[in-house]
Structure 1
Amino acid sequence: MTTPTEIPATLLESPSFQLERLRRRTRDEVESALNSRGTSLREYWVLTCLIEASASSQASLGELLAIDASDMVRLIDALESHNWAKRERDPKDRRRQIVGATKKGKTAHAELTVLVSEAEGRVLNDSTEKQLKHLRKLATSVLVSEEDPQ
């Protein structure tokens, strides 16, 4: 029988390793919570964008969330099957689909946001508010610099 090996200190000090482990733990917990409601994290992300922006094209949603166009179609199909979103042809460009949240989608989003927050809280429950504030600030800084390379 093999004994588990300890993670090398070099990996524990590596931001890429740390972020990957944190990503995996939070994603697993959040996905589990959302699966209990018959939805997924990526569906939640798309629904959140629709709630925040009121409507968007499929292409712009895919670009914003870095989701392939064919995957975006499946995600919006899933949201439509829940009656959380609806597609309409853009009257200015008939090739373009405009996606918006429905009233049922807005209600579901509020409920799902609570589930996501609780799941993230379970993963990060040993963190202090100050630590979480620093984590959010760091993540925001990294993401903003990615969008605006100087």
Structure 2
Amino acid sequence: MLYLQAIKKKNEVIQWVDNCIEKYDVPYEFIELSLSSSKKIADILLILKSLYGKHEFQLPMYIMLGKLRSEFIDKNISTENFFTYIYSLYTQGCTSDEEMSQFSFLDRLSDGYYLATEGIYGEVEDIVQDALDELMNFEEYIVLLSDDSLN
């Protein structure tokens, strides 16, 4: 089942890259991504990660944060996964000290969730609400995922 989900997500990445190639002046790595349907998802992620830091990728982070909030509200992901993704976006998505500082609230939310689930400090419901409130700032960027926004 996880294999089928990875295939679907891999195909979504390739479709997105193809749309970008058609409509924008993109880095060469996008072409490499477009031709990577036979590669493993891990290899595709390495290509994406190599792009990060070479070009301006603040906007994709905003889109991912908005989409994450939306997916949680729509009950497509669990609370545990919600905070796992928040932590992953912070640790893997920030490649500079400036980004670490800008997105430090993600680390704070992740730590708050850990402390609440361990019964050390705070309530899970409160930290979930804090996370939803923080990520509301990024919800407007979700529309950039639609095909209409690419025109």
Give the TM-score normalised by structure 1.
0.31
Structure 1 or 2: larger strand share? 1
Q: Whose radius of gyration is greater, 1 or 2? A: 1
Give the TM-score normalised by structure 2.
0.31
